[in-house]
Amino acid sequence: MNAPAQGKETSAGIAAYAADFPILARPVNGRRLVYLDNGATTQKPQAVIDAEARFYSESNANIHRGVHWLSQHSTDLYDQGRERVRGFLNAAQVEEIVFTRGTTEAINLVAASWGRPNLKAGDEILLSGMEHHANIVPWQMVAEQTGAIIKVVPVTDNGELDMEAFSRLLNQRTRFVGVCHVSNALGTINPVADIIRQAHEVGAVVLVDGAQAVAHQAVDVQALGCDFYVFSGHKLYGPTGIGALYGRKALLDAMPPWQGGGDMIHTVSFERSTFAETPQKFEAGTPNIAGVVALDAAIVYVQSIGLERIAAHEDRLLQYANEALAQIPGLRFIGQARERAGIVSFVMDDIHPHDLGTILDMEGVAIRAGHHCAMPLMTRFGLPGTARASFALYNSTDDVDALVAGLQKARRLFGMEQDA
């Protein structure tokens, strides 16, 4: 079977972007690398690789502490990166951007520094049923420590949040709402603006997990009205080990530091310490300066292409993949929300997702197979896991064709289809 030809992407521009990513030129198992695991991490363009290497070869020094030129230069690059993230999210003030190791650390920071001091027994934490473990486990820890209660917004059969149930669950005891902007397991784009509006009507604070959103659509935290927004650089064509927390300054100012150490203090004595202003009080120790510089380069790279153009390209790929995969006997989609980003999640009759992933790997096709750090969501669908193909700006319909061919081979290997 051939994938449908209608809508096939032939843009020379897209091919040019793929050429920006050196890892895509390396073969895997003697085959062309078809990288469809972008929901886990994206590959890095040469511009990002060069930016990090250039920092270490030309600019490396610790920040905020030195009077010498390199230290001041490194500090300027770090501050430039913070301003870049501020503009990327359209935060009102640069002080509203806190650098973290990624989404997980950012959520843990909010849970520890906002959740523990503000939640008490009987307060309710409302999470969606499609959250990544990173937006579940920290709140379970806080609930155990404070006596707060976790409530869960159910997920419909087509992979959308049940918004009627969400409205019913909201009440005057709801103090916090945590929701992913885009589901990492299903690609569902949640109506976060509506969620935030309703949550604020009962006085709840809202954190949006934007890890799967920022590489696929423009995000305006002021327009959304969220209290916290978090993302990771490595899902945005940037390096691992760097991410950011946006928080409304009034909230951040009222929150105590999470970690203690150098560079987050104003004064220290053995009797007491006083702390730096926001955001520095949340960035103890030597930060990932090179990571900030490379994240800056990643944002510049994405913005040079345009998020609207990237989103349109990925939407075309998603439609093409849906049509192609739907023709494979025994394949069943998991989650077909009306609004989705570039993720397709599926299972195949009598073939475990891990087996699918292994067979596809032998064909050079990299996908993700398993529970995707969303075990409660997998339980909701009665599955141990799914196979997930996730798209990025450098993917093409040729990549989808390779995925389809690999799945056909899996069917033959499992005796579900005879060789032509």
129 and 114 housed in the same domain: yes
Q: Which residue among 281, 303, 325 closes a domain?
A: 303
4 in any annotated domain: no
Domain assignment of residue 6, yes or no: no
> Is the same domain home to 78 and 40?
no
288 shares a domain with 185: yes
Q: Are residues 163 and 253 in the same domain?
A: yes
DSSP string across 4-45: P-TT----HHHHHHHTT-GGGGSEETTEE-EE-BTTT-----
Residues 282 and 317 in one domain: no
Of 303, 334, 356, the last residue of a domain is 303
Distance CA 410, CA 349 (A): 11
How many other CB atoms are found less than 10 A from the CB of residue 107? 28
Q: What is the pLDDT of residues 178-223, one digit of tens each?
A: 999 999 999 999 999 999 999 999 999 999 999 999 999 999 999 9
Buried b (16+ CB within 10 A) or exposed e, 21-52: beebeeebeeeebbbbbbbebbbbbeebbebb
In a domain, 3, yes or no: no
Q: Are 46 and 22 in contact (CB under 8 A)?
A: yes
What are the backbone dihedrals phi and psi of residue 309, each rounded to the nearest 5 degrees, phi first?
-70, -40
190 and 75 in a common domain: yes
Same domain? 235 vs 344: no
Residue of 24, 141, 362, 373 with catalytic role? 373
Residue 37 lies in domain: 12-44+306-413
Instruction: Retrieve residue 6's tokens.
Output: 């209608």
Whether 273 and 409 map to the same domain: the answer is no
User: What's the CATH code of the domain at 185?
Assistant: 3.40.640.10
Question: Residue 66's pLDDT is what?
Answer: 86
Res. 6: pLDDT tops 80: no
Residues 135 and 257 in one domain: yes
Instruction: Report the number of distinct structural domains present in the chain.
Output: 2
Chain segment 61-74, per-residue pLDDT in tens? 999 988 999 999 99
Q: What is the mean pLDDT of residues 338-345?
A: 95
Q: Give yes or no: 180 in active site.
A: no
SS3 106: helix
The predicted model scores a pTM of 0.94
CA neighbours closer than 13 Å in the CB half-sphere of residue 153: 27
Handedness of CA 172, 176, 182, 185 (dihedral sign): negative
- Is the per-residue pLDDT at 310 higher than 60? yes
Mean pLDDT for all residues in the chain? 94
Residue written as token pair 């510089």: 293
Least confident segment among 12-21, 126-135, 228-237, 257-266: 12-21
High-pLDDT (> 70) share of the chain, %: 95
Q: Hey, CA dihedral for 364, 367, 370, 373, is it positive or negative?
A: positive
